[in-house]
Amino acid sequence: MNSDCELIVTKKVEDFIPLFRGIPELGDPVFLSMLHWCGVGKRATELKSWRVYVVRCRDCNVGVSGLYQRPETVSSEIWLGWFGVVAEKRRTGLATWCLQATEKEARRLRATRLLVYCDRTAAGVHRFYTTNRFELIGNADEHFPGATATDKDLIFGKRLAD
Ligand SMILES: CC(C)(COP(=O)(O)OP(=O)(O)OC[C@H]1O[C@@H](n2cnc3c(N)ncnc32)[C@H](O)[C@@H]1OP(=O)(O)O)[C@@H](O)C(=O)NCCC(=O)NCCS
């Protein structure tokens, strides 16, 4: 089924709007980021680099993914962000497909470690990352203070093989 999917780069607001309706967990911060991706607004704090991808399956946008580095991020590391798939496509392996495609992009950008932060209460999301061979690194406030939306988040990380 996921052989019909591709990871594409777009800056069209209309490509993202249905995704935000379909992935309510992403919430307002990601919606505001979208305006930045599409050239409408500016972030309060600039990123060193960022890329956003949409998962398109048979002409429908069904997922979003991104990679970014903050000014203090070392060049061998990259963060996964704005990641989700629409509710009706979950538990079909689509997010795993999207994650693997994003990891390929991260390797292409010469990153050797992929990091992601998660709400500490989102047990299903933790399970998704550990199933995909991420390891729990620990609390954001201990390991990467100031790097996440809230210092109460958990950080997961994965070494990217060649
Ligand atoms: C987290 C998310 C991306 C997972 O998407 P998905 O398409 O369901 O993931 P997959 O089908 O590839 O799941 C692969 C495996 O991860 C684990 N998993 C995924 N979601 C899970 C859940 N809610 N509870 C327990 N395990 C889960 C399972 O082991 C699953 O394999 P299985 O279905 O054979 O049991 C999706 O739930 C989502 O978009 N959530 C909202 C946005 C979000 O919270 N993003 C994360 C920001 S850090």
Indicate whether residue 2 lines ligand 1 (CB < 6 A).
no
**Domain range annotation of the chain:** 2-159
CATH class, 2-159 region: alpha beta
44 Cα: distance to centroid of ligand 1 (angstroms): 30
Ligand 1 atom 9, closest CA: 95
**In terms of Cα–Cα distance, which of 65, 17, 66, 10 is closest to 39?**
10
- Residue with token string 């199933």: 131
Question: What is the number of helices (H) and of strands (E) in the chain?
Answer: 5, 7
Q: Is the CB of 130 under 6 A from ligand 1?
A: no
For residue 5 and ligand 1, the question of a CB distance below 6 A is answered with: no
Reported pTM: 0.94
Taking the centre of ligand 1 as the mean of its atom positions, its distance from the CA of residue 17, in whole angstroms, is 21
- Among 108, 103, 118, residue whose Cα is nearest residue 160: 103
Q: Is 94 in the pocket of ligand 1 (CB under 6 A)?
A: yes
Name the strand (E) or helix (H) holding 55: strand 49-57
Rounded CA separation 127/123 (Å): 6
- Nearest atom in ligand 1 to the alpha carbon of residue 85 is 39
Give the pLDDT of residue 1.
65
Q: Is the Cβ atom of 55 under 6 angstroms away from ligand 1? A: no
Residue nearest to atom 1 of ligand 1 (CA): 125
pLDDT tens, position by position, for the chain (162 residues)? 688 999 999 888 889 888 988 999 988 888 888 888 888 877 777 889 999 999 999 999 999 999 999 999 999 999 999 999 999 999 999 999 999 999 999 999 999 999 999 999 999 999 999 999 999 999 999 988 877 777 789 999 999 987
